[in-house]
């Protein structure tokens, strides 16, 4: 079952276009810069 989950996750990540990834990262950059030099645990 875990193998199926990994397989589905990799398919999902491939459906996001490079343009969309760039847009998401550019929108997130100001928020990420707030934590420059800090340790963030998720």
- Domain with 25 in it: 2-33
pLDDT (tens digit per residue) in 28-42: 999 999 999 999 898
Listing DSSP states for 1-42 in one string gives -HHHHHHHHHHHHHTS-HHHHHHHHHHHHHHHHTTTTS----
Residues 3-21 pLDDT 10s: 555 555 555 557 899 999 9
Q: Is residue 28 part of a domain?
A: yes
Within-domain flag for 7: yes
- Rounded to the nearest angstrom, the gap between the alpha carbon of residue 28 and the centroid of all alpha carbons in its chain is 10
pTM: 0.48
Q: Is 27 part of any domain? A: yes
> What is the predicted pLDDT for the residue at 19?
96
Residue 41 lies in a domain: no
Note the Cα 39 to chain centre separation in Å.
18
């Amino acid at each position: 079952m875990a193998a199926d989950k990994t397989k589905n996750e990799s398919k999902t990540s491939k459906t996001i276009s490079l343009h969309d990834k760039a847009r998401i990262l550019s929108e997130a950059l100001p928020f990420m810069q707030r934590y420059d030099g800090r340790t963030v645990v998720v």
